[in-house]
Structure 1
């Protein structure tokens, strides 16, 4: 695994968690809009589910929430590990740039502005940082 792939793990996991949270919102909206069971006295198939439709939505929400909790716990451990490895770099600019890019998720334009450097200089610092970054085995 390259340094860039290793560092991008946290960004990708964070994006995945956000997608799953949006999915929870979808299921919550759906659960509140699903109609209840109809008890109109008409005969129904014995194979027909007896639970109200919103129950399936709530079960799905619970399943996704457990998955998100696991991913958040892993993300916390991963970010701690990445931060510790960034601290191993000798160059302060490289540390700052990697944190801005991979921990804080800033764009290149934002990084250039915050560090007061040109695009070319930001990419040079980034390349050096990746070359010096201690990737775990």
Structure 2
């Protein structure tokens, strides 16, 4: 695994969590928009009397559980990456990798944070990736 692939694990997991949170919001919105059953209608014994939103509750609970597990994985992964970043001797390189891969900052924001140009950001990034050692994974 390359340095960039190793570091991007947290970045990508964070994007996945954001996507799952968006899906959870969509499910909650759907559950809130569905009308209740019309109990004035003639009811047959084989018909389900649950309100239509009930079927979404299970999906919502599953998505919340999935997000919680992903968040736990992200916390552990970020701790591992942070520990690995301690081996990067250059402070600017370490900061840049932290801003990009742990804080999910844009290149523009990183340039502003470090008070450097975009070309300098990319130069520091390339150097940082060369100087970063991927920890042995068991």
TM-score normalized with structure 1 length: 0.89
Matches within 5 A, 1:1-137: 1-44=1-44, 46=46, 48-137=47-136
For structure 2, the residue ranges without an aligned partner over 5 or more in a row are none
Give the C-alpha shift of residue 133 in structure 1: 1.1
**Deviations 1:37-74, CA, capped at 9 Å, x for gaps:** 2223525472x433221111111110000000000000
Aligned-pair RMSD on alpha carbons?
Answer: 1.6
SS in 2 for 1:62: helix
Range with bigger deviation, 109-118 or 63-72: 109-118
**Deviations 1:71-98, CA, capped at 9 Å, x for gaps:** 0000000011111111111111110110
How many corresponding residue pairs?
136
**Alpha-carbon separation, structure 1, partners of 2:41 and 2:108:** 65
**Alpha-carbon separation, structure 2, partners of 1:49 and 1:2:** 54
**Deviations 1:2-32, CA, capped at 9 Å, x for gaps:** 1111111111111111111121111112112
Range with bigger deviation, 90-99 or 18-27: 18-27
For structure 1, the residue ranges without an aligned partner over 5 or more in a row are none
**Alpha-carbon separation, structure 1, partners of 2:45 and 2:4:** 57
**Alpha-carbon separation, structure 2, partners of 1:32 and 1:114:** 42
**Alpha-carbon separation, structure 2, partners of 1:107 and 1:41:** 56
